[in-house]
Amino acid sequence: MTPLLQVQGLSQRYAGQSVLRDIDFALAPGESLGVIGESGAGKSTLARLLMALERPHQGRVLWDGVDVNAMPARRRRALRPLVQMVFQDPYSSLDPRWRVGRSVMEPLLALSMNEAARRERMSEVLVAVGLEPDAAWRFPHQFSGGQRQRLAIARALSTRPRLIVADEPVSALDVLVQAQILALLRDLQRREGISLVVVSHDLPAIEILCDRALVLRGGEAVEHGPAARVLREPQHPYTQDLLAALA
């Protein structure tokens, strides 16, 4: 089976400085990966490369077996709805001047759907993340942090993606709200078979959502394996240290 997402020898440099070096992994459809690391480890750079939001210095990112940076722009646009992103900060990822329904529907403009179909899909995804369809008429400031993160997830879901890249999806939230959002993501993963790449320093979130875990340190992968194994019997001293610090 062709991997849904594959990364080969991926490296990135900013201003001549290496921020990511030689990363390799493959993700089967429905499988989820946790990318663990501290600030500056290269987690968010990797997330942007996976989304084809920037071009790598070296290496390849393949969606469904095709190099995203080698495919024609038109093809990439056609594939984009299949790969969506949820950002850390639900406050800044929704346009404050738009009613949230418009934000949730926006990714659908890339698809050949009429207005009525778009509205129907919007109501579906709002319900799927535990909000009322009427929420569409309100503005972002009228929602709590957890509700805004639900809205960001609804927007990501709208295009029926096969992969969602979530960059620190719960670390800006209160503990109770974190549990709610993790329960929602886990439920979506099981119900819809969506693959997740969860980029986080929050280890319980990785354990709950991911089959496999990749540990990044200073732009390099120091450990990669089944999430349960990496988190319970870490092999690399850095991972051991990271876990011990949190005990």
Partner 1 sequence: MTDNVNGMGGMGAPAAVAAVANVANAAEAPLLEIRDLHVRLPGRRGEPLHALRGIDLSIARGESLALIGESGCGKTLTALAVMGLLPDGAQVAGRIAFDGRELLTLDEDAWCALRGRRIAMVFQEPLTALNPLQRVLAQVAEPILIHRLLPDRTAARERAMALLARVGLDGRQARAYPHQLSGGQRQRALIAMALAAEPELLIADEPTTALDARLRVQVLDLLRELVAERAMGLLLISHDLALTARRVDRLAILYTGGVVEQGDARELFEHPRHAYTQALWAARPRLGAGRDQPLHPFEGGVR
Q: Tell me which residues touch partner 1 (CB under 8 A).
A: 38-40, 144-145, 172, 174-180, 182-183, 186, 201-205, 207-209, 228, 231-232, 242-243, 245-246
Nearer of residues 118 and 223 to partner 1, judged by Cβ: 223
The nearer residue to partner 1, 166 or 209, going by C-beta atoms, is: 209
Beta strands in the chain (DSSP E): 5-14, 17-27, 33-36, 58-63, 66-67, 83-86, 163-167, 195-200, 212-217, 220-226
Count how many Cα atoms sit within 13 Å of the Cα of residue 51 in the half-sphere of its side chain: 23
Decide: 20 and 11 in contact? Cβ < 8 Å.
yes
Output the smallest distance, CB 77 to partner 1, in A: 35
Q: Which is nearer to partner 1, 150 or 155 (CB)?
A: 150
CB of 217 to partner 1, least distance (A): 12
Q: For partner 1, which is the closer residue by CB, 41 or 136?
A: 41
DSSP lists the bridge partners of residue 212 as: 33, 226
CB atoms within 10 A of CB 1: 6
Least separation in angstroms between CB 66 and partner 1: 31
> Minimum distance between the CB of residue 245 and partner 1, rounded to whole angstroms?
4
Report angle CA 166, 169, 173 to the nearest 5 degrees.
Answer: 175
Task: Return the number of the residue (3 or 145) whose C-beta is nearest partner 1.
Answer: 145
**Smallest separation (angstroms) from partner 1 to the CB of 57:** 23
